[in-house]
A and B are shown apart, each in its own frame.
Chain A
Amino acid sequence: MTTEAPALAALLTDLRDEGLVEADAPERAAAMLATAEAEDDTPSYVRFLVGAGAWVSGLFFLGFVFGIVRELHLDDQPELFCFLGVAAVFLAARVRRGTSGTFAGQLCLASSMAGHVLATATAMDLAGWHRAAVVIPLMLSLLAVLVYPRNPDPVHRFGSPFAALFAWTVWFLSENLPWAVGPLVVVETAAAALLLAHPRARGSLRPLAFAVATASLLTAALSVGGRLQIPWELARLGLGCGLLALMSWCADGRSLLKGPLLAAAVAVVLLAVIAPPGLLVALAYMVLGRALSDTSLTWLGTVFVPPFLSVLYYDLNVSLAWKSWVLAGSGLVILLLRAHLARLVARSRPAPEVRP
């Protein structure tokens, strides 16, 4: 069986042939989609290359700024450098809006990154070190909110919100606020899912959705194994219900209490009880990515499944000998479940016609 979805043109043609849409549906769809907001069609590999290059460039730009500050003894003017940092961010956004050139885009990205760091570092200095910790996420959030609509670069639209969300996570953990981590993960996951799946969500919000999704996984990962006792109960409930709701949405109204979906629902409930919440988040992105035919999202979730699975087994309160049995046993159960589901699926398929 092919796992490739049909092309939109072929799909509309099939629907037209079945009498489910008007005869001019493909043309109207093309016109409709043409009026939608245009988006950068750069492949993800290239964005990664551009982002990495810009990030390294940004670091060197910062090194230059700090070197100049030291040489010219300008350390006692943090206000000036805070202003310069913010100005660099907005100027980069302005220039980026007006250019489609790759070199200019690289420079704008690097300048913006350097501006973010400069503005945040000097804002910390201005606020005083006793308030420094909260200034970082506040400053980054402010810049992210203000600059997102102005800078069309998708790498920037990913990096800026991600930096802000990651800074909040670090702040919650460093300030001993364990109660906030669970709700943060749930809210981030829900926001990412909505931004990706809601029909009204615009294409320009896709980098933001990925930033939020990545931040949610990292928040869950950073919260594992730390000294903080994080109350995950409500978050588990929220994530478990969310994953069940997602499965129901993917099943498009089919009951979760029948056939293979029942097995999946039971597995979700079990994982919500015993697994690290990050595993539920990673699985949610895998399922959502599959539903949306979004390989990037699927891979984002897939990459985080092995670490969270490792945490699940590492944290089991049994001896090392028993852990190996649990590992092997759970593997065997999953393989048996797979065999059982394969039989269910085979039984549910219509039998091929037998020609006389």
Chain B
Amino acid sequence: MRYDGGMEHHGGTPASLDRPADRRTIETLHRAGLLSARARRRALDLVLPPARWWPWADRLLLILGAVLLLAGVVFFFAYNWSALERSGRFALIQVGLVACVLGALHRGLDDTVSPVFLAGATVLLGVHLAVYGQAYQTGADAWELFAGWSLLALPWVVVARSSGLWVLWLLLLDLAVCLYYNQMIPWSARHEASLFLVLAVLNGMALALGERVRSRGASWLVATWTRELVLASSLIALTIPAAAWVAGDGPELVGPAAASLLALGLVVLHDFYRYREKDLGALTLACCSACAVILAGLGGLILQGPTGPWISLVFGLVIAATVAPFAWWLRRVARQMGGRE
């Protein structure tokens, strides 16, 4: 069950005692005389012992250090390009790449640091491909670089078992698809719209695969931010053509297809994230998508009527009337998930 951990716990029912204790509540009870100084200190040690800071600080330092190091490497190549010999360029990248892979093997694939090493190797792989393309003027298009990058990085991404790395890999794949459309397919409104469909299906499949892996107990996929990020990208890709179509301005075939796929997807999402995974964030994203499409349709209808300042008032009321039921429903679902209904 997913819930905002920052909520106040000063509710009026005994059920509020079931929520996580926090420092403010402890201080409030201490000032009210319920906790002595010794009890307060013991409570703080239990709620947030010194040792509980370390996993958070460890993760922070690891991500920060790795990002800065990788950024330095990438910028080094970007800014010192002309000064380096070709062999020197390849040597540096390959040494770094091999060092990252060896580091991951040395730490063991179950170690928390190994995914960071493999992420570094993935980034350096891309740098290597870019340098190769530039050095030998292969004439490859940009989409081929990203497609090759994602293909070659796939084994590392699979063994790393890191949700962050999977998101990076999916981003590379999406970029490859977008660049393919941009470079290889003659532009037309239909093809531009069909790109949205392809991205939606791609990210939707990634989401489904992720949920399947998670349901089999993959602890490395516990963080729900990856789910919500991938879901958001899939919904955005479907919502844009669907909203354009219902507003009366979308391409034929692709618009209805996107709208149908979105409708089906929302039903599946509702069932899955309300009753199985219980993720309020995912349900909110689905509601945002539904709101956008409904408002696009109603906006298109309103604009077909008589014009005047009254349109603004009507549409303002329509927006409030559309968002309100979703907000009410989400609050109700949140209460049900919290066991308060």
Count residues of chain B with CB under 8 A from any CB of chain A: 97
With A5-B20, A5-B21, A331-B65 as given contacts, are A203 and B312 in contact (CB-CB < 8 Å)? no
Q: How many A-B residue pairs have CB under 8 A?
A: 308
Chain B proximity mask over A326-341: 1 for CB below 8 Å, otherwise 0: 1111111111011001
A26 adjacent to B8 (CB under 8 Å): no
Is B212 engaged at the interface, CB distance under 8 Å to the other chain? no
Which chain A positions have C-beta within 8 A of B27? Answer: 199
Q: Does B61 reach chain A (CB closer than 8 Å)? A: yes
State whether A327 and B75 are in contact (beta carbons under 8 Å apart), knowing that A9-B18, A290-B56, A335-B65 are contacts in the complex. Answer: yes
B66 proximal to A (CB < 8 A): yes
Q: Which secondary structure characterizes the binding site on chain A?
A: helix
Question: Interface residues of B: mostly helix, strand, loop or mixed?
Answer: helix
A15 pairs with B281, CB closer than 8 A: no
Contact of A42 among B321, B324, B334 (CB under 8 A): B334
Nearest B-chain residue to A297, judged by Cβ: B6
> Is A76 an interface position by the 8 A CB rule?
no
Cα–Cα distance between A16 and B46 once the two chains are bound (Å): 13
Residues of the B chain whose Cβ atoms lie less than 8 Å from the Cβ of A25: 34
Is A53 part of the binding interface, using a Cβ–Cβ cutoff of 8 Å?
Answer: yes
Cβ distance B128 to chain A, nearest Cβ, rounded Å: 17
- Which chain A residues lie closer than 8 Å to B18 at the CB level? 7-9
Partner of B309 from the list A68, A199, A320, A342 (CB cut-off 8 Å) is: A68
Instruction: Kindly report which residue of chain B lies nearest to residue A35, judged by CB atoms.
Output: B12
Q: Closest residue to B74 on the A side, CB-wise?
A: A324
CB of A45 within 8 A of CB of B313, answer no
Residues in chain A near residue B47, CB distance under 8 A = 5-6, 11, 293
Taking CB atoms, residues of chain A closer than 8 Å to B39 are: 15, 20-21
Please tell me if B158 contacts chain A, counting CB pairs below 8 Å: no
Residues of A within 8 A of B42 (CB): 15, 18, 20
Contacts of A292 in B (CB 8 A): 6, 22-24
In whole angstroms, how far apart are the Cα atoms of A54 and B320 in the complex? Answer: 7
Docked-complex contact B62 and A20, CB < 8 angstroms: no
Identify the A interface with B (CB < 8 A).
1, 3-9, 11-12, 14-15, 18, 20-21, 25-26, 28-30, 32-34, 36-39, 41-46, 48-50, 52-54, 56-64, 66-68, 70-71, 101-103, 105-107, 110, 197, 199-200, 203, 206, 250-252, 254, 260, 264, 286, 289-297, 309, 320-321, 323-335, 337-338, 341-342, 345, 349
Interface residues of B (CB under 8 A from A): 3-14, 16-25, 27-32, 34-36, 38-39, 41-44, 46-48, 50-58, 60-62, 64-73, 75-76, 78-80, 83, 280-281, 284, 287-288, 291, 308-310, 312-313, 315-317, 319-328, 330-331, 334-335, 338
